[in-house]
Amino acid sequence: MGTSGGQGDALLVATCESCAFVRLKGKGSIRTSSALKRFLTNMAGKGYRLFTFDMGECRGMDSTFMGVLAGFVSKLKTMGGGRVVMVNVDDAIYELLHTLGLDRLIENDRHGELEPELIQRISQVVSLSALNIGEESKDVAADTVLSAHEALADVSPDNHDRFKDVLAFLRKETRHDDTR
């Protein structure tokens, strides 16, 4: 299909040395989440352990997109560790991360804590390819949404309470779809 999730939404990706790089243009949403999950899982399977997100052109993220990030951080831990880093994080994006506790899982450049070598490496990424977002099957999309919200609920007790009704609904819908 195309590279857009919504009008103007895109994931641009590159790899260099041991780093996988993602630039989010527009909004990180349910429509871009499955493609992101595939890319991250594929790169981790190839041995990449540093995942950098440039958020300079990001207009926002929905809970599914943030849940994919949370789930991926958790997956990296089971694979022996790694780093997920965000740069060019503005106040609105930081507030989204902070509200759901992802600021404790994902490093960011809000407080000048990233090492200069990493910042330099990121600034040298110039050749980016658009990740094919395409259309997902209903089952893949439902699985992505459910697993993303389960990952968010696992981040904190507040998130568990925040998403319990959503999770109950998603689990019911997923089971309902399995019986057809």
Locate the domains of the chain by residue range: 10-134
Q: Please report the pLDDT score of residue 12 as a whole number.
A: 96
Low pLDDT (below 70) residues in the chain:
1-7, 176-180
Q: Please report the pLDDT score of residue 176 as a whole number.
A: 53
CATH code for the structural domain at 10-134: 3.30.750.24
Spatial contact of 24 and 57, defined as CB atoms under 8 Å apart? yes
Q: Please report the pLDDT score of residue 6 as a whole number.
A: 57
The predicted model scores a pTM of: 0.89
β-bridge pairing 19-28 and 10-16: antiparallel
Q: Please report the pLDDT score of residue 7 as a whole number.
A: 65
Q: Please report the pLDDT score of residue 136 as a whole number.
A: 80
Q: Please report the pLDDT score of residue 169 as a whole number.
A: 94
